[in-house]
Chain A
Amino acid sequence: MPDPLTSQAAPSEQIPPALLLSGIEKYFGHVCALHDINLDVGRNEIIGLIGDNGAGKSTLVKILTGVFPPTRGRLAIAGRTVDWSAYSVLSAHAHGIETVYQDKSLGEKQALWRNFFIGREITLPLGFINVKREKEIAREIMLNTIGFRGKGITVDSRASKLSGGERQGVAIGRAMHFEAELIILDEPTVALSLKEVRKVLNFVHKIKEAGKAGIYISHDIQDVYEISDRFVVMDRGEIVASIAKKDISLKALDEFLLEYAHGMKDKEAT
């Protein structure tokens, strides 16, 4: 039986980045929400996207996940330029973008095996679901891809039986299974206890280990620092800094962000 979980794309010479954004602008009426966003994410790179509320992070995420298109600009996923008119929430998966949301990743009352395959069922003729196959693969993902060790949890358990961190683990495992080019983690740890945050971070590490790319969005600088290879700082709709992890310590990053916030406040005062 071929193992769908460990199959990786063969390395080749000129690999285009997992994600390439160039000249993205977004206006809501006359209000400019995003201005000239240029960003690339390497094939096995985790980007930490940092910024205060209103910095434009969520607008950018909504463009990436297909909620709305930008006013102008180009998006290429794994070298393929996206046609905005064909890009939507419904088609984001087909384009290779998976998103782990804060709270809308799983159907609470549904069995885990259904949650893994919802929207992408393995079907028999006439659209009937191949339950046996889906359960096998779901079991495989839980054991091997995300190393799930929740007590008494099986693929038949309802999602509501899982803790908040475990739910995000399922969502991350699902994203990895479907061979996403890029996994967007949109504040996946909000409203979780420290212990559960730890679990989520361990799951996110698996993304890196599996050779995949991700954008991690969080307010917690410590988490972002641990997870990311590079930090991209946004403010008022622009990318104001892009710093590799090897060039900065957590303390320095924290100070940089603080200074930046203060600097901005000073400017506001004048």
Chain B
Amino acid sequence: MKREGSLLASLGRVEGLPTAAVLVLLYLVFIVLTPQVFLGYRIYMSFFQTIPPQLVLALGLTLVITAGEIDLSFPAVVALSGFFFAWCFKHGLPPWCGFLVGLASGGLVGYINGVLVARLRVPSIMATLASQFFWYGVTILIAGGLQLDIAAVIPSLEHRVFTGRIFGVLPTQALWAAGLAVVMWFVLNRHRFGEAIMFIGDNAEVARVMGINVEKTRVTLFTLMGLIAGFAGLLLTSEINVFYPTQGQGMLLPVMAAVFVGGTSIAGGSGLVAGTFFGAYIIGSLEAGVVATGIGGYWVQLVEGVVMAAVVILNIVINEGGISVLSGAVRKWSVPVRSGSGH
């Protein structure tokens, strides 16, 4: 038995610790290489400003991947919810009103994804890929391809609450994202909804015969992911005070990377929310950090790739699942969910 494993293995059982260790190590390396940047507080405040939207998305995606599903549509939701927020504000509605409309639009997209996946049994990779194109298309159409400048939102309470600065430096969105991480940890690990997600990702047939309403749980899960993506879009739009129709594009891969760097298994059945939290900060810090070290722009992606691969391998080794967990996952995504009406 591997139960009496090494010290490394037992430490690895503390959720997210390997990923947190890598994050600390990464910052140490950056400090050694560019102390003038990484010994100051400004770079970290800038991370707290730019990383939260991606972190929020990664938290939602952690639950989706734990359920053995995938959502590729969240970048489009970031654009759609941002548009509604900006549009409502432009048309004289109060910011909180635009905020609610933006959230609701995300929830609606998520609900439709959930219905496609759970009720119509479209594999989630296809359903949400189509959804991604469709909702970007919708956003560009209704926005007329134009960006909306909402600098006037800055003095509003909404702006100060969600994307203000505490003591003039600390971006509030970092606290919102951290708070959401705590909530999501409890939802996944201590709530019956989270337990249902884990069993469904593990073996949907077991979940079904044990009395879990698999379809309903899947619909709720995708709706939740849509709401969370809507929230991320609001944080982004509120922070930069402008909506642009292609916002969110380019977020898909870094957000997925954050989840996997955090140690969540691609095969479903278990998810590490704490790992995702640190993973998002690793992914979000890499580019700025590597650029700051001055090794040259051509090297940035190569170094990022090496770090990501190293953390993922570290997590797999520590979680004693071995390499075998990797196989089968992609297969799982490309096969329709199994019928609920019996066979």
Interfacial residues, chain A to chain B (CB-CB below 8 A):
62, 65, 67-68, 89-91, 93, 99, 101, 104-110, 114, 118-121, 123, 126-129, 131, 151-152, 161
A118 CB contacts on chain B under 8 angstroms: 195-196, 199, 206-207, 210-212
The verdict on A120 contacting B191 (CB below 8 Å), with A107-B199, A110-B199 known, is no
Q: Which of A62, A109, A129, A151 contacts B190 (CB 8 A)?
A: A129
In the bound complex, residues from chain A placing their C-beta under 8 Å from that of B76 are none
Residues of B within 8 A of A68 (CB): 342
In contact, A109 and B270 (Cβ under 8 angstroms) = yes
CB distance from A120 to the nearest CB of B (A): 7
Check if A93 sits within 8 Å of B211, measured CB to CB.
yes
Which of A65, A106, A107 gathers the greatest number of chain B CB atoms within 10 Å? A107
Residues of chain B with a CB closer than 8 A to A110's CB: 198-199, 202, 269
Residues in B neighbouring A89, C-beta threshold 8 A: 208-209, 211, 342
Query: Does chain A have a CB within 8 A of B44?
Result: no
A152 cross-chain contacts in B, Cβ below 8 A: 1, 3
Is there a chain A Cβ closer than 8 Å to B192's Cβ? yes
B193 near A: Cβ within 8 Å?
Answer: yes
Q: Is there contact, CB below 8 Å, between B198 and A121? A: no
B206 to chain A, nearest CB (A): 5
CB distance A127 to B191 under 8 Å?
A: yes
Within 8 A of A (CB), among B317-343: 342
CB distance from A166 to the nearest CB of B (A): 13
Contacts of B195 in A (CB 8 A): 114, 118, 121, 129
In the assembled complex, the Cα of A126 lies from the Cα of B183 at a distance in Å of 13
Q: Chain B's nearest CB lies how many Å from the CB of A47?
A: 21
Cβ-Cβ contact count across A and B, 8 Å cutoff: 77
For residue B178, give the distance in angstroms from its CB to the closest CB of chain A. Answer: 20
Write the nearest CB–CB distance from A92 to chain B, whole angstroms: 8
**Chain B positions within 8 Å of A151 at CB level:** 1
Residue ID in chain A nearest B4 by CB atoms:
A152
Q: Would you call the interface of chain A mostly helix, strand, loop, or mixed?
A: loop
Among B128-165, those with CB < 8 Å from A are none
Instruction: Check B186 against A106 for contact (C-beta < 8 Å).
Output: no
A127-B193 in contact (CB<8A):
yes
Q: Known contacts A107-B206, A118-B211; can you find 7 more A-B pairs with CB under 8 A?
A: A89-B208, A104-B203, A110-B202, A121-B195, A127-B192, A151-B1, A152-B1
Residues of A within 8 A of B210 (CB): 118-119
Chain B, interface size category, equals 20 to 34
Contact of A105 among B192, B206, B211 (CB under 8 A): B206
CA distance in complex: A176, B186 (Å):
30
* Nearest CB in chain A: distance from B204 CB, A: 10
Question: Which residue of B has the minimal Cβ distance to A127?
Answer: B192
Asked if B213 lies at the interface with its beta carbon under 8 angstroms from chain A, I say yes
Given the complex, which residues of B lie within 8 Å of A93, measured CB to CB? 211
> Is B205 engaged at the interface, CB distance under 8 Å to the other chain?
yes
Q: Mark B158-200, 1 if CB is under 8 A from A, else 0.
A: 0000000000000000000000000000100011110110110
Please give, as numbers and ranges, the residues of chain B lying within 8 Å of A104 by CB-CB distance. Answer: 203, 205-206, 209
Q: Which of chain A's residues have a CB closer than 8 A to the CB of B190?
A: 128-129, 131
Query: Which of B190, B193, B205 has the largest count of A CB atoms less than 10 A from its CB?
Result: B190
Which one of A127, A151, A161 has the highest number of Cβ atoms from chain B below 10 Å of its Cβ?
A: A127
- Asked if B209 and A99 sit within 8 Å, CB to CB, the answer is yes
Chain A proximity of B332: nearest CB distance (Å): 14
Q: With A67-B342, A101-B209, A152-B1 as given contacts, are A107 and B192 in contact (CB-CB < 8 Å)?
A: no
Are A107 and B207 interface neighbours, CB within 8 A? yes
Least CB distance, A95 to chain B, in whole angstroms: 11
Q: Once the chains are docked, how many angstroms separate the CA of A123 from the CA of B193?
A: 11
Query: Bound state CA distance, A108 and B201, in angstroms?
Result: 11
Cross-chain contact B269 with A108 (CB below 8 angstroms): yes
> How far does the Cβ of B325 sit from chain A's closest Cβ, in whole Å?
9
Chain A residues with Cβ below 8 Å from B270 are: 109
- B1-43 contacts to A, CB under 8 A, are 1, 3
B192, B213, B269, B342: the one within 8 Å of A121 (CB): B192
Residues of A within 8 A of B196 (CB): 118
Give Cα A151 to B1, complex, Å.
10
A120 surroundings in chain B (CB, below 8 A): 211
The interface residues of chain A lying within 8 Å CB-to-CB of B211 are 89-91, 93, 118-120
Q: 9 A–B contact pairs at CB < 8 A?
A: A65-B209, A104-B203, A109-B270, A118-B207, A119-B211, A123-B192, A129-B192, A151-B1, A152-B1
Q: Are B199 and A90 in contact (CB under 8 A)?
A: no
Q: In the complex, what residues of B have CB within 8 A of residue A106's CB?
A: 206
A91 to chain B, nearest CB (A): 8
Q: Are A108 and B209 in contact (CB under 8 A)?
A: no
CA distance A91 to B208 in the complex (A): 11
Chain A nearest CB, measured from B171 CB (Å): 30
Top 8 A-B pairs, shortest CB-CB distance:
A119-B211, A109-B269, A119-B210, A107-B202, A67-B342, A107-B199, A121-B192, A118-B210
Q: Nearest A residue to B193 by beta-carbon distance?
A: A127
